[in-house]
Structure formats: structure tokens, C-alpha cells
């Protein structure tokens, strides 16, 4: 299984994207129900699985227009064939082609089929079509048995009888051993799915100190690795499909990508499993955090992805953030005012900090030159190591040397220094950088609670512009300081990097 989360890919890659979408009337697209597989495949040696796919990622390859919302779709069979969950009527719903999806890995293959039909019941026998409903069927086509839990879940806005689950929260699970050649398992959520107003499903992961939260989304994964959390946080991800532009059928302000005035030339990046050729759909991710350390998070986001077949020509990658706000389900959409792309390649890496987590979107510049890789920040250079702990004498001056780029092979030549990572409007001259430190745990040392970043001093030299995107900052450390810190570089673009660790002696 390839992993994914947030990227923009050129040539054969994919682009994932993050952002926030509002729900306006019946025109807001939902992610659909979520099907998860967690457990162990009994290969030699056994391997653990954590797989997930949304209803909107299970395609029929036949693109059609939903008559009650004017949106083009080839998925969402579990909610009656409508990406907004409106009721299309029995004839439209049951006439849909079946949606299909495969999870394939070392020694395992799970084939998934969705159908909307009159009659029939799930394997548990507690949900039967009345008169029609959406079903998900899974078949073990691999060589090995699976032991664990499979769950279909979703939250509908119009829950309650007689057709939908009370409160809107619906689920159907199987726990046990599922072997090759055994009868398929059938899942369902409601007696008549199209009466439930659509489904959406978020994913929540606990986060230990120094851990990584991994969110599987189809054939991709989205990974968040905080640097400075103490543990016990919860990270929640909700993907929301959006249309690429106002030229898409059924497009309106609530369901269409809006890059904001800072990146008005950007388009959203079609996300692999949510799209089919000729029907590109993007995904905006809502990320939220609960826990004492969320406000001071420094984090790295990595996306592993796969571009939909037939989609190419993507260039000029960007990784946008709606600053200082969480996604909201209602208009207006957040304004994207930060580009936090650090590294673009098959595995795209972005870094950010503060504000807990927020809305993100992977985007690109149409018709820009295709690139295989792109690094915006290169450093720190010797004598600082980015892979080993740098042991330094408290009170000494330490040279921080790096290169800064705004596009492939285009250096940032006019960077200035700002005394705050969050300056008041007009207080610093863009483009600017702020350098600070944040305490972290020393090897085998006691736990360090996250703290607000502390701006570091450059003595009398300030930020030195060496030309062609090369910069040096001679960090004047404070005598008597102890412990370990990570240097944090915050840029006006929204990029936050923490390239090196230091230990005082």
C-alpha cells in the first residue's frame, strides 16, 4: 500500500489537498461513508493492516449527473448516488453501475464493490433494503486469511427512523477471521440510504510524545509528526471533496476550491482515489487537534499519493494553509494566505507550527513546468549538522547558514529578519524570517513541556545576505543555558522549519 496525505505531484504522481469546505444547502459535497480494515494478515511473517477508503473513492467509471443537485459523480452509491446526499429517486439510484475498489499488498487483496438495490440485507441481517439502499461487499481475493475488524461508518445530517440511524451516527462491523474463498461480507448503514442526507466520516488518531498520526485515505496516507508535543493529544482529519473550478457542473461558492487572493493563480490538485479521468475532484482536509499542547505544535506533514489515470501536466506545486482558523462547515470559506510547502516529490513534505492545526490544500499552478522535486529551504549548512545533535558551548556564537528558494532554481534574494514569528500587520518587511528556539527532550533526559518559541539574538551582525539566496545568521547563545533546543525558522509565507537540534554544555 502506498501512503498519502498532502501533495502535489508531477508526471506520474498525485496531488492531495487540504482545505476547508462549507456546507451550503444541498450543494455541499460529503466525503461519504468510511470503510476501515484494521487487524492482521496471516502471512509469514504476519503483517498488521490499517486501511481505509471513503464511499467517494469507490468508482463505477461511469460519470453521470445527479438530477437533484446537478453535480457530476461516478461514486457515492452508499448515499444514493449523490455527492450531497439528496434523494434522486429509486430509478436513478438502482440503475447505477457498481462501484469498485481494491486494496492490494504483500500477500493480500481485498476487493470492494458497492451497489444500490431493491431488497437484500447485510451479513448481520439487521439492515435490509426498505425499499432500496446502498450496500458495500468485500471479498478476500488474497492468499492469506485476515483476523481483525472491518467497519463501515458514517454520520448523516438527517438521522432517525424509520430509515436512518438515530442521531445520524451509523456503523456496521465484522470482527473475526476472514479467509480466502469464504463468502463475501456485506455491509450497510440504513434501510434507505438516500433518505439520510448523505454521509461524512472523520478519522481520529491518538498522538504519543514523538509519535506520528497516520490517516489512511484509500491508496494514500496522510501523516502528521509533531516535534514538541508531550503526548495525549487527539488529531482529527475530515476530507471534504471539492470541485476544481466554477466551470464544473453544479459548482457554487460552497463546493468549489477557492485559493484566496494570495494564490489566485493556483488550482486545486485532483486527489487520486476521489477522481476519475474527465471528472477530476479535489480534496480539502479539515485538521483539528484537542489536547493541552495543540497551540504550540510544530509539525511535519507527509503525503504519499497516486495521481489519477489520465491526469497530467501539473507543475508549480504549492501547499496552502488557512491561517489562524479551523475549517468551518458554513460559508464563508477560509482565506488561504500561507504557502507551507517544504519539499515536493513523490512523498511531499510540509512543515508548520502554532494554532493547533487548521485547513490545508495542496494546489498547483496550471501549465507551469513539471518538476520531479523541489526544496524551498536548504540547510543548515556545515558546521551545523541536521542529522546529529549539535553540542555547543552556552555563550558562544553559532553560524546558521542556509539557502532559500521561491520556485525550482529561483532563489529568494531579499529576505529580511523579523523579531517576531507573528508580527503585527506592516511591522516587518516581507519576505521575512524569524529565528527562534523551542525546548525539546534531550536524549535520556526528563520530559520537557512545550513552551512558546523564544526569539534568538544575532549580536551585532544581524541576518547576512550572501547573495543568490544564501543567508547566514550568527546565533549569539545565552551564557548559562542548559538542556536541548530545536532552532525554528518561521517565514512570512507560512513555512515553518526546524532543521537542527542543539545541546548546551
Q: What is the dihedral of CA 128, 130, 131, 136, to 10 degrees?
A: -40
- Residue 76 to residue 73: CA distance in whole angstroms: 8
User: Is residue 444 a part of any domain in this protein?
Assistant: yes
Q: How many domains does the chain have?
A: 3
Does one domain contain both 232 and 351? yes
Q: Quick one: pLDDT at residue 429?
A: 95
User: Is residue 381 a part of any domain in this protein?
Assistant: yes
Does one domain contain both 174 and 223? no
- Residue 218 to residue 273: CA distance in whole angstroms: 6
User: Is residue 416 a part of any domain in this protein?
Assistant: yes
Does one domain contain both 304 and 363? yes
User: Is residue 14 a part of any domain in this protein?
Assistant: no
Does one domain contain both 301 and 386? no
Does one domain contain both 207 and 190? no
Q: Quick one: pLDDT at residue 2?
A: 23
Q: Which domain holds residue 433?
A: 377-504
Buried b (16+ CB within 10 A) or exposed e, 67-83: ebbebbbbbbbbbbbbb
Pair 485, 439: CB distance under 8 Å: yes
| Straight-line distance from the first to the last Cα atom of the chain, in angstroms, rounded to the nearest whole number | 45
Pair 488, 469: CB distance under 8 Å: no
- Residue 360 to residue 339: CA distance in whole angstroms: 10
Q: Quick one: pLDDT at residue 308?
A: 66
- Residue 483 to residue 477: CA distance in whole angstroms: 13
Residue at which a domain ends, from 373, 398, 413: 373
Residue at which a domain ends, from 155, 176, 195: 195
Does one domain contain both 169 and 215? no
* Non-local CB neighbours of 359 within 8 Å, separated by 6+ positions: 18, 19, 20, 284, 285, 286, 287, 321, 322, 325, 326, 327, 334, 336
For 455-495, write each residue's pLDDT tens digit. Answer: 788 766 789 999 999 999 999 999 988 889 889 999 998 89
CA distances, 423 to each of 430, 450, 457, 486, 504 (Å): 11, 21, 17, 21, 29
Does one domain contain both 345 and 445? no
Does one domain contain both 335 and 388? no
- Residue 97 to residue 119: CA distance in whole angstroms: 17
Residue at which a domain ends, from 348, 373, 398: 373
For 107-132, write each residue's pLDDT tens digit. Answer: 899 999 999 999 999 999 999 999 99
User: Is residue 47 a part of any domain in this protein?
Assistant: yes
Q: Quick one: pLDDT at residue 309?
A: 65
Does one domain contain both 66 and 178? yes
Q: Report which DSSP code applies to 390.
A: E
Q: What is the dihedral of CA 176, 180, 181, 187, to 10 degrees?
A: 50
- Residue 82 to residue 93: CA distance in whole angstroms: 9
- Residue 172 to residue 189: CA distance in whole angstroms: 6
Does one domain contain both 211 and 307? yes
Q: Quick one: pLDDT at residue 18?
A: 31
User: Is residue 413 a part of any domain in this protein?
Assistant: yes
Does one domain contain both 41 and 85? yes
- Residue 345 to residue 372: CA distance in whole angstroms: 6
User: Is residue 292 a part of any domain in this protein?
Assistant: yes
Q: Quick one: pLDDT at residue 299?
A: 81
The enclosing domain of 249 has a CATH number of 2.60.220
Q: Quick one: pLDDT at residue 452?
A: 60
Low-confidence residues of the chain: pLDDT under 50: 1-26
- Residue 157 to residue 164: CA distance in whole angstroms: 10
Please report the sign of the dihedral spanned by the C-alpha atoms of residue 115, residue 118, residue 121, residue 126. positive
- In degrees, to the nearest 5, what angle opens at C-alpha 420 toward C-alphas 419 and 421? 135
Q: Among residues 89, 84, 55, 90, which one has the least CA distance to residue 70?
A: 84
User: Is residue 7 a part of any domain in this protein?
Assistant: no
Q: Quick one: pLDDT at residue 430?
A: 93
* Non-local CB neighbours of 491 within 8 Å, separated by 6+ positions: 431, 432, 433, 434
* Non-local CB neighbours of 32 within 8 Å, separated by 6+ positions: 54, 55, 56, 57, 75, 76, 78, 79, 83, 154, 198, 199, 200, 201
The 3-class secondary structure across 70-129, one letter per residue, is CCEECCCHHHCCCCCCCCCCHHHHHCCCCEEEEEEECCEEEEEEEEEEECCECCCCCCEC
**pTM reported for the whole predicted model:** 0.85
Does one domain contain both 210 and 90? no
Q: Quick one: pLDDT at residue 164?
A: 93
The enclosing domain of 442 has a CATH number of 2.60.40
Amino acid at each position: 500500500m502506498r501512503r498519502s496525505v498532502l501533495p502535489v505531484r508531477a508526471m506520474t504522481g498525485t496531488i492531495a489537498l487540504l482545505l476547508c469546505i462549507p456546507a451550503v444547502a444541498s450543494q455541499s459535497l460529503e466525503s461519504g461513508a468510511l470503510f476501515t480494515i484494521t487487524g492482521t494478515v496471516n502471512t509469514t511473517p504476519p503483517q498488521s493492516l490499517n486501511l481505509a477508503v471513503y464511499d467517494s473513492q469507490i468508482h463505477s467509471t461511469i460519470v453521470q449527473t445527479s438530477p437533484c443537485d446537478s453535480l457530476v459523480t461516478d461514486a457515492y452509491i452508499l448515499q444514493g448516488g449523490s455527492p450531497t446526499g439528496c434523494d434522486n429517486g429509486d430509478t436513478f439510484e438502482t440503475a447505477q453501475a457498481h462501484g469498485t475498489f481494491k486494496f492490494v499488498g504483500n500477500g493480500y487483496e481485498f476487493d470492494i464493490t458497492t451497489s444500490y438495490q431493491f431488497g437484500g440485507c447485510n451479513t448481520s441481517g439487521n439492515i435490509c433494503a426498505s425499499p432500496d439502499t446502498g450496500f458495500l461487499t468485500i471479498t478476500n481475493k488474497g492468499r492469506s486469511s485476515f483476523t481483525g475488524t472491518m467497519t463501515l461508518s458514517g454520520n448523516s445530517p438527517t438521522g432517525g427512523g424509520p430509515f436512518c440511524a438515530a442521531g445520524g451516527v451509523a456503523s456496521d462491523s465484522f470482527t473475526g477471521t476472514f479467509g480466502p474463498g469464504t463468502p463475501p461480507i456485506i455491509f450497510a448503514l440504513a434501510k434507505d440510504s438516500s433518505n439520510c442526507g448523505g454521509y461524512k466520516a472523520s478519522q481520529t488518531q491518538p498522538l504519543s510524545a514523538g509519535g506520528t498520526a497516520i490517516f489512511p485515505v484509500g491508496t494514500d496516507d496522510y501523516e502528521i509528526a509533531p516535534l514538541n508535543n508531550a503526548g495525549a493529544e487527539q488529531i482529527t482529519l475530515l476530507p471534504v471533496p471539492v470541485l476544481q473550478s466554477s466551470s464544473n457542473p453544479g459548482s457554487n461558492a460552497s463546493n468549489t476550491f477557492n485559493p484566496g487572493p494570495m494564490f489566485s493563480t493556483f488550482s486545486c490538485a485532483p486527489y487520486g482515489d476521489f477522481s476519475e479521468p474527465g471528472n477530476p475532484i479535489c480534496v480539502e482536509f479539515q485538521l483539528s487537534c484537542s489536547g493541552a499542547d495543540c497551540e504550540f505544535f510544530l509539525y511535519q506533514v507527509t503525503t504519499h499519493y497516486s495521481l489519477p489515470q489520465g491526469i497530467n501536466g501539473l507543475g508549480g506545486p504549492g501547499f496552502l494553509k488557512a491561517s489562524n482558523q479551523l475549517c468551518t462547515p458554513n460559508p464563508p470559506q477560509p482565506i488561504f494566505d500561507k504557502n507551507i510547502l517544504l519539499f515536493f516529490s513523490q512523498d511531499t513534505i510540509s512543515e508548520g507550527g502554532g494554532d493547533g492545526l487548521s485547513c490545508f490544500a495542496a494546489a498547483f499552478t496550471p501549465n507551469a513546468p513539471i518538476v520531479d522535486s523541489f526544496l524551498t529551504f536548504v540547510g543548515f549548512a556545515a558546521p551545523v549538522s541536521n542529522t546529529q545533535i549539535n553540542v555547543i558551548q552556552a555563550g558562544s556564537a553559532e553560524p546558521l547558514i542556509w539557502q532559500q528558494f521561491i520556485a525550482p532554481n529561483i532563489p529568494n534574494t531579499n529576505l529580511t529578519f523579523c523579531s517576531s514569528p507573528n508580527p503585527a500587520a506592516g511591522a516587518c518587511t516581507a519576505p521575512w524570517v524569524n529565528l527562534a528556539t523551542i525546548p525539546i527532550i534531550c536524549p535520556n533526559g526528563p520530559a520537557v513541556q512545550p513552551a512558546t518559541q523564544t526569539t534568538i539574538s544575532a549580536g551585532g551582525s544581524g541576518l547576512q545576505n550572501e547573495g543568490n539566496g544564501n543567508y547566514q545568521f550568527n546565533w549569539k547563545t545565552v551564557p548559562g543555558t542548559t538542556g536541548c533546543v530545536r532552532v525554528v525558522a518561521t517565514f512570512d509565507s507560512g513555512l515553518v522549519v526546524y532543521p537542527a537540534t542543539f545541546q548546551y554544555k
